Amino acid sequence: MRTPYIAGNWKMHMVKSEAVSLASELKSALAGVEHRVMIAPAFTLIESVAATLAGSNILVGAQNMAPAVSGAHTGEVSPGMLKDVGATVVILGHSERRNSYGESDQLINEKVSLALSEGLEVILCVGETLEEREAGAVDAVVRTQLAGGLNAIPESALSSITIAYEPVWAIGTGRTATPEDADAVHASVRTVLGDLYNDGAAQKMVIQYGGSVKPDNVDGLMGMKNIDGALVGGASLKADSFIPIVRFQR
Ligand code: PEP
C-alpha cells in the first residue's frame, strides 16, 4: 500500500511571522493525521518553520537546491545547508524552475542524484505544457522528463523519491485535470517507471498530482487508482484550504 502524501509548495510567499503562524496552526490542526505531510517554504523561512514544526508529523522541504555541495555558486543553496536548517525533502524539476529558469533534465538529474546521496528525499516534478498536450505529446514529454531526471538513479534509491505529475496548464490557473485525465497520465507515469526499473518498483512509487488542487476537488482526485497524493501551491498558503486537502476522504 502506498501512503498518501500531501505536500504544500509555498513558493515565494510569506515573511517569517506569517510562516511561523501558519506552521503552528497546521501543527495543531494536523496532529495525528496519518497521511504524510510536507511543506516547502522559501529558503529563508525553512529554519523557523522547522523549529515551529519540531515534534510534529509535518516534514519540511525546500523548493530547489544547487547541484553542488559547496563552492563558488553565487545565489545557490547546497543540500548540506538545507539539512542544517531542518529540511529533509527537496522539490526538484518544478515547471517554474524548468520554464522560467531554464532547468534541463540533465541539470535536474544532477540535483536528484546529489540530493539522494546527501540524504534528502526528493519530489521530482514532471508535466506537459498546454501546447504539448494539444499536440498529443503528454506521454512522450513525461517519459523524457522521467528518463532524464532519473538517469542512473538506482532502484535502491526509489524509496526516497516521489514523482509529482503537474500539468503546467493547471498550475495556478484554477484549471484542474479531471480525475480521469490525471489518472490516465499517472498510469502512464507508472508504466514508464516500470520500463525504467520494473513493475514491482513502479507499483511502490508514490505519484502526486499537482495543479489547482483545492478542498473541493481533492476527494475526486485522491479517489483514483494511480493518484497517491497532491502537490499543492496556492491552496497550501491558507490553513482553511490546506487542512481539508490533507484530510481528504477517499
Ligand atoms: C504547484 O506550484 O506545484 C502547484 C500545483 O500550484 P497550484 O496548486 O497553485 O496550481
Contact 6, 230 (CB under 8 A): yes
Tell me the pLDDT band of 129, cut-offs 50, 70 and 90.
Answer: very high
pTM: 0.97
- Largest distance between two CA atoms of the chain: 48
The catalytic residue among 94, 96, 128, 186 is 94
Q: Is 164 helix (H, G, I), strand (E, B) or coil?
A: strand
Ligand 1 atom 7 nearest Cα: 233
Model pLDDT, residue 228: 98
Contact yes or no for 136/182 (Cβ under 8 A)? no
Give the domains, in start order, of the chain with CATH numbers. 5-246 (3.20.20.70)
The finding on whether 60 has its CB within 6 A of some atom of ligand 1 is: no
Distance CA(110)–CA(182), nearest Å, equals 28
Evaluate: CB of 127 within 6 angstroms of ligand 1: no
Q: What percent of the chain has pLDDT over 90?
A: 96
Query: Is the pLDDT at 175 greater than 90, yes or no?
Result: no
In this structure, the chain runs to a length of 250
* Residue 145 CB partners (closer than 8 Å, separation 6+): 93, 105, 126, 127
Rounded to the nearest 10°, the torsion over CA 201, 169, 131, 141 is: -10
Residues 6+ apart with CB under 8 A from 212: 170, 171, 172, 173, 174, 175, 176, 234, 235
Q: Taking Cα atoms as reference points, which of 206, 213, 219, 209 lies closest to residue 241?
A: 213
How confident is the model at residue 177, as a pLDDT? 86
Dist. CA 4 → ligand 1 center (Å): 18
Tell me the percentage of the chain whose pLDDT exceeds 70.
Answer: 100
CA angle 88/157/118 to nearest 5° reads 40
Above 90 in pLDDT, residue 85? yes
Please report the beta strands in 64-172, taking only residues with DSSP state E, as ranges in sequence order. 89-92, 121-126, 161-165
Q: Which ligand 1 atom sits nearest the alpha carbon of residue 171?
A: 10
CA pair distance 130, 119, nearest whole angstrom: 35
Residue 166 CA to ligand 1 center (angstroms) comes to: 8
Q: What is the pLDDT of residue 172?
A: 87
Question: Quick one: pLDDT at residue 174?
Answer: 85
Question: Which numbered atom of ligand 1 lies nearest the CA of 213?
Answer: 8
3-state secondary structure of 9: strand
